[in-house]
Amino acid sequence: MRSTSSSPLAPRISRRRLLVSLLSAVFVLSFGAGLCRAEVHGGIEIGAKGVKITVVRATSGGDGLQMKVELATTANTTLVADLARTGAFAPEALEQTVAAVGKAYGRIRDEFKVAPERIYIVGSSGLFSAIREKPDLIDANKKRLADAVRQATDKAMDFLSDEREAELSIDGIIPRSAAATGLVLDIGSGNTKGGFKESKTGKYVSFSVPLGTVTFTDLVKKKAAEGRGTFGKVAAEQREGMLRPTLAWQMVGKPALLERPRVYLSGGSVWAITTLAHPGDRRPFVALTRADVGRYRTSPRSRTRGIGPKRKPT
Protein backbone atom coordinates (compact mmCIF):
# COMPACT_ATOMS: atom_id res chain seq x y z
CA MET A 1 0.00 0.00 0.00
CA ARG A 2 1.46 3.32 -1.01
CA SER A 3 1.34 6.26 1.35
CA THR A 4 0.35 9.73 0.19
CA SER A 5 1.00 11.33 3.57
CA SER A 6 3.24 14.33 3.92
CA SER A 7 4.60 13.02 7.20
CA PRO A 8 8.30 12.15 7.04
CA LEU A 9 7.59 8.98 8.96
CA ALA A 10 4.77 7.57 6.87
CA PRO A 11 6.55 6.40 3.69
CA ARG A 12 8.96 4.32 5.74
CA ILE A 13 6.56 3.02 8.35
CA SER A 14 4.17 1.86 5.63
CA ARG A 15 6.80 -0.61 4.43
CA ARG A 16 7.90 -1.87 7.82
CA ARG A 17 6.84 -4.91 9.76
CA LEU A 18 5.26 -3.44 12.86
CA LEU A 19 5.78 -5.45 16.02
CA VAL A 20 3.67 -4.87 19.09
CA SER A 21 5.05 -5.33 22.58
CA LEU A 22 2.34 -6.26 25.07
CA LEU A 23 4.65 -5.46 27.96
CA SER A 24 4.47 -2.04 29.60
CA ALA A 25 7.62 0.05 29.94
CA VAL A 26 7.05 0.08 33.69
CA PHE A 27 8.33 -3.51 33.77
CA VAL A 28 11.81 -2.17 33.27
CA LEU A 29 11.66 -0.39 36.59
CA SER A 30 11.18 -3.74 38.27
CA PHE A 31 14.64 -5.07 37.54
CA GLY A 32 18.15 -3.86 36.87
CA ALA A 33 20.32 -4.79 33.94
CA GLY A 34 22.57 -6.80 36.22
CA LEU A 35 19.91 -9.16 37.50
CA CYS A 36 21.23 -12.73 37.41
CA ARG A 37 18.74 -14.80 39.39
CA ALA A 38 15.02 -15.39 39.32
CA GLU A 39 13.14 -12.79 41.33
CA VAL A 40 9.56 -11.57 41.45
CA HIS A 41 8.99 -7.84 41.15
CA GLY A 42 5.94 -5.61 41.23
CA GLY A 43 5.34 -2.39 39.31
CA ILE A 44 2.60 0.20 39.79
CA GLU A 45 2.43 2.97 37.21
CA ILE A 46 0.14 5.95 37.64
CA GLY A 47 -0.80 7.29 34.24
CA ALA A 48 -3.19 9.77 32.71
CA LYS A 49 -5.90 7.13 32.18
CA GLY A 50 -5.40 4.91 35.20
CA VAL A 51 -3.15 2.71 37.29
CA LYS A 52 -1.25 -0.18 35.68
CA ILE A 53 -0.39 -3.08 37.97
CA THR A 54 2.25 -5.60 36.99
CA VAL A 55 3.95 -8.57 38.62
CA VAL A 56 6.76 -10.28 36.74
CA ARG A 57 9.25 -13.06 37.38
CA ALA A 58 12.53 -12.00 35.78
CA THR A 59 15.64 -13.96 34.87
CA SER A 60 18.59 -13.10 32.65
CA GLY A 61 18.96 -14.92 29.36
CA GLY A 62 20.81 -14.82 26.07
CA ASP A 63 18.46 -12.21 24.63
CA GLY A 64 18.40 -10.01 27.71
CA LEU A 65 15.93 -10.27 30.57
CA GLN A 66 13.34 -13.02 30.23
CA MET A 67 10.03 -12.23 31.88
CA LYS A 68 7.12 -14.34 32.95
CA VAL A 69 4.11 -12.17 33.63
CA GLU A 70 2.34 -13.21 36.81
CA LEU A 71 -0.15 -10.33 36.80
CA ALA A 72 -1.01 -7.54 34.37
CA THR A 73 -4.10 -5.48 35.01
CA THR A 74 -5.35 -1.91 35.03
CA ALA A 75 -7.56 0.17 37.27
CA ASN A 76 -9.19 2.99 35.33
CA THR A 77 -9.13 6.36 37.08
CA THR A 78 -9.61 9.96 36.02
CA LEU A 79 -6.68 11.65 37.73
CA VAL A 80 -6.00 14.24 34.99
CA ALA A 81 -9.61 14.88 33.98
CA ASP A 82 -9.66 18.49 35.25
CA LEU A 83 -5.94 19.19 35.25
CA ALA A 84 -5.90 21.37 32.13
CA ARG A 85 -8.86 23.45 33.33
CA THR A 86 -8.01 23.88 37.02
CA GLY A 87 -4.27 23.25 37.17
CA ALA A 88 -4.73 20.71 39.96
CA PHE A 89 -5.81 17.10 40.47
CA ALA A 90 -9.46 16.97 41.52
CA PRO A 91 -9.71 15.75 45.15
CA GLU A 92 -12.10 12.93 44.22
CA ALA A 93 -9.88 11.76 41.36
CA LEU A 94 -6.78 11.88 43.55
CA GLU A 95 -8.53 9.86 46.24
CA GLN A 96 -9.73 7.29 43.70
CA THR A 97 -6.27 6.93 42.19
CA VAL A 98 -4.47 6.59 45.52
CA ALA A 99 -7.04 4.01 46.66
CA ALA A 100 -6.29 1.98 43.53
CA VAL A 101 -2.55 2.24 44.22
CA GLY A 102 -2.99 1.15 47.83
CA LYS A 103 -5.13 -1.81 46.81
CA ALA A 104 -2.63 -2.85 44.15
CA TYR A 105 0.28 -2.54 46.55
CA GLY A 106 -1.45 -4.76 49.11
CA ARG A 107 -2.31 -7.37 46.49
CA ILE A 108 1.24 -7.52 45.12
CA ARG A 109 2.68 -7.82 48.62
CA ASP A 110 0.19 -10.30 50.11
CA GLU A 111 -1.02 -12.43 47.18
CA PHE A 112 2.23 -12.63 45.24
CA LYS A 113 4.57 -12.41 48.25
CA VAL A 114 6.68 -9.64 46.72
CA ALA A 115 8.96 -7.93 49.22
CA PRO A 116 8.27 -4.19 49.63
CA GLU A 117 11.75 -3.30 48.36
CA ARG A 118 10.88 -4.99 45.05
CA ILE A 119 7.63 -3.07 44.54
CA TYR A 120 8.08 0.08 42.48
CA ILE A 121 5.61 2.96 42.17
CA VAL A 122 6.08 5.51 39.39
CA GLY A 123 4.25 8.40 37.80
CA SER A 124 4.10 8.33 34.01
CA SER A 125 5.77 11.05 31.97
CA GLY A 126 2.41 11.91 30.45
CA LEU A 127 0.75 12.82 33.75
CA PHE A 128 1.48 16.51 33.44
CA SER A 129 1.29 17.06 29.69
CA ALA A 130 -1.74 19.32 30.12
CA ILE A 131 0.29 21.75 32.31
CA ARG A 132 3.73 21.09 30.83
CA GLU A 133 4.54 24.82 30.59
CA LYS A 134 3.69 25.52 34.25
CA PRO A 135 6.51 24.04 36.38
CA ASP A 136 5.13 25.44 39.65
CA LEU A 137 1.85 23.61 39.13
CA ILE A 138 3.68 20.43 38.14
CA ASP A 139 5.75 20.52 41.35
CA ALA A 140 2.68 21.15 43.50
CA ASN A 141 0.74 18.27 41.96
CA LYS A 142 3.71 15.93 42.21
CA LYS A 143 3.95 16.66 45.92
CA ARG A 144 0.23 16.09 46.51
CA LEU A 145 0.31 12.78 44.70
CA ALA A 146 3.57 11.55 46.23
CA ASP A 147 2.46 12.47 49.77
CA ALA A 148 -0.86 10.66 49.31
CA VAL A 149 0.83 7.56 47.88
CA ARG A 150 3.35 7.45 50.73
CA GLN A 151 0.54 7.68 53.25
CA ALA A 152 -1.31 4.80 51.56
CA THR A 153 1.67 2.50 51.00
CA ASP A 154 4.56 3.79 53.11
CA LYS A 155 6.53 3.88 49.86
CA ALA A 156 8.17 6.77 48.04
CA MET A 157 7.27 7.07 44.39
CA ASP A 158 9.30 8.31 41.43
CA PHE A 159 8.26 10.42 38.45
CA LEU A 160 9.52 9.71 34.96
CA SER A 161 10.56 12.38 32.51
CA ASP A 162 9.64 12.01 28.83
CA GLU A 163 13.24 11.24 27.99
CA ARG A 164 13.75 8.69 30.76
CA GLU A 165 10.51 6.86 29.99
CA ALA A 166 11.50 6.64 26.33
CA GLU A 167 14.87 5.17 27.37
CA LEU A 168 13.21 2.62 29.65
CA SER A 169 10.80 1.66 26.87
CA ILE A 170 13.74 1.11 24.52
CA ASP A 171 15.60 -1.04 27.06
CA GLY A 172 12.52 -3.01 28.07
CA ILE A 173 10.89 -3.65 24.71
CA ILE A 174 13.53 -4.10 22.01
CA PRO A 175 15.18 -7.57 22.24
CA ARG A 176 18.95 -7.73 22.07
CA SER A 177 18.70 -9.58 18.78
CA ALA A 178 16.98 -6.52 17.26
CA ALA A 179 19.10 -3.85 18.98
CA ALA A 180 20.68 -2.76 15.69
CA THR A 181 17.41 -2.62 13.75
CA GLY A 182 14.62 -1.93 16.22
CA LEU A 183 12.78 1.27 17.08
CA VAL A 184 10.16 1.83 19.80
CA LEU A 185 7.06 3.93 19.19
CA ASP A 186 5.03 4.29 22.41
CA ILE A 187 1.63 5.94 21.89
CA GLY A 188 0.58 6.82 25.41
CA SER A 189 -2.46 8.58 26.78
CA GLY A 190 -0.55 11.73 27.74
CA ASN A 191 2.27 11.79 25.18
CA THR A 192 3.92 9.90 22.32
CA LYS A 193 7.57 8.93 22.52
CA GLY A 194 10.17 6.42 21.40
CA GLY A 195 13.54 5.89 19.79
CA PHE A 196 16.41 3.42 19.93
CA LYS A 197 19.82 2.86 21.49
CA GLU A 198 22.93 2.96 19.33
CA SER A 199 24.74 -0.38 19.58
CA LYS A 200 28.27 1.02 19.30
CA THR A 201 28.04 4.05 21.58
CA GLY A 202 25.20 3.10 23.93
CA LYS A 203 23.67 6.52 23.25
CA TYR A 204 19.89 6.88 23.18
CA VAL A 205 18.29 8.55 20.18
CA SER A 206 14.79 9.46 21.31
CA PHE A 207 11.86 11.75 20.67
CA SER A 208 8.77 12.85 22.55
CA VAL A 209 5.73 14.97 21.76
CA PRO A 210 3.22 16.16 24.40
CA LEU A 211 0.24 14.66 22.61
CA GLY A 212 -1.24 11.23 23.34
CA THR A 213 -4.61 9.62 22.91
CA VAL A 214 -6.18 11.47 25.87
CA THR A 215 -4.42 14.83 25.55
CA PHE A 216 -5.07 15.01 21.80
CA THR A 217 -8.72 14.07 22.31
CA ASP A 218 -9.11 16.71 25.04
CA LEU A 219 -7.56 19.31 22.73
CA VAL A 220 -9.96 18.44 19.93
CA LYS A 221 -12.97 18.46 22.26
CA LYS A 222 -12.00 21.89 23.58
CA LYS A 223 -11.68 23.41 20.11
CA ALA A 224 -14.85 21.72 18.87
CA ALA A 225 -16.70 23.18 21.87
CA GLU A 226 -15.46 26.62 20.79
CA GLY A 227 -17.45 26.18 17.59
CA ARG A 228 -14.63 25.32 15.22
CA GLY A 229 -16.50 22.37 13.72
CA THR A 230 -17.37 18.75 14.36
CA PHE A 231 -15.07 16.49 16.33
CA GLY A 232 -13.93 14.74 13.15
CA LYS A 233 -13.24 18.00 11.30
CA VAL A 234 -11.29 19.51 14.20
CA ALA A 235 -9.34 16.27 14.74
CA ALA A 236 -8.22 16.27 11.10
CA GLU A 237 -7.21 19.94 11.33
CA GLN A 238 -5.21 19.41 14.52
CA ARG A 239 -3.56 16.32 13.09
CA GLU A 240 -2.29 18.25 10.08
CA GLY A 241 -1.69 21.55 11.83
CA MET A 242 -0.17 20.39 15.10
CA LEU A 243 0.55 16.67 15.42
CA ARG A 244 2.37 16.10 12.13
CA PRO A 245 4.53 19.25 12.35
CA THR A 246 5.44 18.49 15.96
CA LEU A 247 6.52 14.98 15.04
CA ALA A 248 8.43 16.26 12.03
CA TRP A 249 10.28 18.76 14.21
CA GLN A 250 11.35 15.94 16.52
CA MET A 251 12.93 14.18 13.56
CA VAL A 252 15.21 17.11 12.72
CA GLY A 253 18.85 16.12 13.22
CA LYS A 254 17.89 12.51 13.92
CA PRO A 255 17.73 10.87 10.46
CA ALA A 256 18.33 7.40 11.91
CA LEU A 257 14.83 7.50 13.42
CA LEU A 258 13.48 7.23 9.89
CA GLU A 259 15.78 4.44 8.80
CA ARG A 260 15.21 1.65 11.33
CA PRO A 261 13.54 -1.30 9.53
CA ARG A 262 11.65 -2.74 12.53
CA VAL A 263 9.20 -0.87 14.75
CA TYR A 264 7.98 -2.04 18.15
CA LEU A 265 4.67 -0.37 18.97
CA SER A 266 3.46 0.08 22.53
CA GLY A 267 0.60 1.82 24.31
CA GLY A 268 -3.02 1.24 25.24
CA SER A 269 -4.51 2.11 21.85
CA VAL A 270 -2.07 -0.23 20.09
CA TRP A 271 -2.88 -2.97 22.57
CA ALA A 272 -6.61 -2.52 21.90
CA ILE A 273 -6.27 -2.63 18.11
CA THR A 274 -4.00 -5.68 18.31
CA THR A 275 -6.42 -7.49 20.60
CA LEU A 276 -9.29 -6.82 18.19
CA ALA A 277 -7.21 -7.79 15.14
CA HIS A 278 -5.68 -10.93 16.69
CA PRO A 279 -7.83 -11.91 19.70
CA GLY A 280 -6.38 -15.40 20.00
CA ASP A 281 -2.71 -14.42 19.91
CA ARG A 282 -1.18 -14.16 23.38
CA ARG A 283 2.49 -14.11 22.44
CA PRO A 284 4.66 -11.33 23.93
CA PHE A 285 5.18 -9.89 20.42
CA VAL A 286 2.37 -9.87 17.86
CA ALA A 287 2.86 -8.77 14.25
CA LEU A 288 0.56 -5.86 13.39
CA THR A 289 0.22 -4.75 9.79
CA ARG A 290 -1.05 -1.58 8.20
CA ALA A 291 -3.95 -3.64 6.86
CA ASP A 292 -4.92 -4.55 10.44
CA VAL A 293 -5.14 -0.87 11.34
CA GLY A 294 -7.07 -0.15 8.15
CA ARG A 295 -9.63 -2.85 8.93
CA TYR A 296 -10.13 -1.37 12.39
CA ARG A 297 -10.68 2.13 10.99
CA THR A 298 -13.35 0.88 8.58
CA SER A 299 -15.07 -1.42 11.06
CA PRO A 300 -18.64 -0.58 12.18
CA ARG A 301 -17.41 -0.21 15.77
CA SER A 302 -14.88 2.49 14.92
CA ARG A 303 -17.30 4.36 12.65
CA THR A 304 -19.86 4.64 15.44
CA ARG A 305 -17.18 6.42 17.48
CA GLY A 306 -16.23 8.84 14.71
CA ILE A 307 -12.87 7.17 14.09
CA GLY A 308 -13.17 5.62 10.68
CA PRO A 309 -14.46 7.05 7.41
CA LYS A 310 -18.20 7.37 7.14
CA ARG A 311 -20.02 5.31 4.56
CA LYS A 312 -23.51 5.53 3.18
CA PRO A 313 -25.78 2.82 4.62
CA THR A 314 -26.47 -0.08 2.29
pLDDT at position 15 over 50: no
Domains defined along the chain, listed by start: 10-21+162-304 (3.30.420), 26-159 (3.30.420.40)
pLDDT at position 230 over 80: yes
Please give the Cα distance from 287 to 231 (Å, whole number).
31
Neighbour tally for 196: CB within 10 Å: 25
Quote the Cα angle for 65-104-42, to 5°.
15
- Which is higher by pLDDT, 190 or 146? 146
Which residue spans within the chain are E strands per DSSP? 17-21, 39-46, 50-61, 64-76, 119-123, 158-159, 182-187, 192-197, 204-209, 262-266, 285-288
Nearest to 185 by CA among 18, 54, 58, 310: 18
Farthest CA pair distance, the chain: 61
Please give the Cα distance from 284 to 22 (Å, whole number).
6
Contact 205, 198 (CB under 8 A): yes
Query: What single-letter DSSP state applies at residue 249?
Result: H
Q: For 246-294, what is each residue's pLDDT tens digit? A: 999 999 999 999 999 999 998 888 888 888 889 998 887 898 888 888 8
Contact 36, 69 (CB under 8 A): no
